[in-house]
Structure 1
Amino acid sequence: MNAVDMETTGTTDSSVGHGAGDGPSVLLLPLPGAQGHTNPMLQFSRRLAYHGLRPTLVVTRYVLSTTSHPVAPFRMAVISDGFDAGGMALCPDYAEYFPRLEAVGSETLRELLLSEARAGRPVRVLVYDPHLAWALRVARAAGVATAAFFSQPCAVDIVYGELWAGRLALPVTDGRALLAREALGVELGPEDMPPFAAVPELQPVLTKTSIGQFDGLEDADDVLLNSFRDIAPKEAEYMELTWRAKMIGPTMPSYFLDDNRLPSNKSYGFNLFSDGVSCMDWLDKHSMSSVVLVCYGTVSNYDATLLEELGSGLCNSGKPFLRVVRSNEAHKLSEELKEKCENNGLIVAWFHQLQVLHTRLSLLVVFLLWESHIGQTNPPSQSM
Structure 2
Amino acid sequence: MSSARTPHALILPYPAQGHIVPMMELSYRLIERGVRITFINTHFNHNRIFATKASGQATFIGEEIDGINFVAIPDGLEPEDDRHDFGGLTQSLMKVMPTLLEELIRDNGGEFTCFVADINMAWALKIGKNLGLRTAAFWPAAAAAGLLDAIFSIPELIQNGVIDEHGALMKKEVIQLNPGITPLDSANLPWHCFDDAYTKVIIFNYLITNNQATSNAEMMICNSFEELEKPIFSKIPHILPVGPLDSKFESRDLNLCQLWPEDKQCIAWLDKQSTNSVIYVAFGSITIFNNKQFQELALGLELTGRPFLWVVRPDLTNKTVNCTFPLGFEERVANRGRMVGWSPQHKVLKHPAIACFVSHCGWNSTIEGLRNGVPFLCFPYFCDQLFNQKYITDVWRIGLSLTRDENGLISKEEVRSKVEELLKDTNIITKSLSLKQLASSSVMEGGSSLKNLNKFAEFLRENQVKEVQKLV
Q: What's the TM-score once normalised by structure 2's chain length?
A: 0.63
Measure the CA separation in 1 of the matches of 2:103 and 2:328: 50
Aligned to 2:13: 30
Measure the CA separation in 2 of the matches of 1:221 and 1:145: 7
Q: What is the aligned counterpart of 1:372 among 368, 382, 390? A: 368
- Distance of aligned partners of 1:197 and 1:97 in 2 relative to their CA distance in 1, 3 Å threshold: closer
- The one-letter amino acid of 2:245's match is T
Shift of 1:79: 1.0
Q: What is the aligned counterpart of 1:166 among 149, 156, 170? A: 156
Aligned to 2:176: 177
Shift of 1:339: 5.0
Measure the CA separation in 1 of the matches of 2:118 and 2:250: 27
Aligned to 1:307: 294
Shift of 1:101: 1.4
Matches within 5 A, 1:273-292: 273-276=260-263, 278-292=265-279
Measure the CA separation in 2 of the matches of 1:110 and 1:71: 24
Shift of 1:375: 3.0
Q: What is the aligned counterpart of 1:355 among 347, 358, 373? A: 347
Shift of 1:202: 4.4
Shift of 1:239: 2.7
Q: What is the aligned counterpart of 1:245 among 239, 242, 254? A: 239
Shift of 1:367: 3.3
Aligned to 1:295: 282
Identity of aligned residues (%): 23
Q: Report the secondary structure of 1:346's partner residue.
A: strand
Measure the CA separation in 2 of the matches of 1:266 and 1:189: 41
Measure the CA separation in 2 of the matches of 1:213 and 1:250: 24
- The one-letter amino acid of 2:213's match is G
Shift of 1:112: 0.9
CA contact (8 A) 1:125 1:144 kept: yes
Q: Which deviates more, 317-326 or 197-206?
A: 197-206
Q: Report the secondary structure of 1:134's partner residue.
A: helix
Aligned length: 342
Q: What is the aligned counterpart of 1:112 among 90, 104, 118? A: 104
- Distance of aligned partners of 1:213 and 1:174 in 2 relative to their CA distance in 1, 3 Å threshold: farther
CA contact (8 A) 2:123 2:210 kept: no
- The one-letter amino acid of 2:37's match is P
Matches within 5 A, 1:1-384: 23-32=6-15, 34-68=16-50, 71-83=65-77, 85-86=79-80, 90-117=82-109, 121=111, 123-155=112-144, 156-167=146-157, 169=162, 177-178=176-177, 181-184=178-181, 187=182, 196-197=189-190, 200-202=193-195, 205=199, 208=204, 213-240=210-237, 244-254=238-248, 269-276=256-263, 278-329=265-316, 334-337=323-326, 339-342=328-331, 343=333, 344-357=336-349, 358-359=351-352, 360-368=354-362, 369-376=365-372, 377-378=436-437, 379-380=440-441, 381=444, 382-383=450-451, 384=453
- Distance of aligned partners of 1:90 and 1:157 in 2 relative to their CA distance in 1, 3 Å threshold: closer
Measure the CA separation in 2 of the matches of 1:290 and 1:57: 39
CA contact (8 A) 1:26 1:55 kept: yes
Shift of 1:151: 0.9
Shift of 1:231: 2.2
Measure the CA separation in 2 of the matches of 1:263 and 1:325: 23
Q: What's the TM-score once normalised by structure 1's chain length?
A: 0.76
Measure the CA separation in 1 of the matches of 2:247 and 2:213: 31
- The one-letter amino acid of 2:102's match is R
Measure the CA separation in 1 of the matches of 2:277 and 2:130: 54
Measure the CA separation in 1 of the matches of 2:174 and 2:298: 31
Higher RCO (Cα < 8 Å, 6 or more apart): 2
- Distance of aligned partners of 1:102 and 1:28 in 2 relative to their CA distance in 1, 3 Å threshold: same
Aligned to 1:13: none
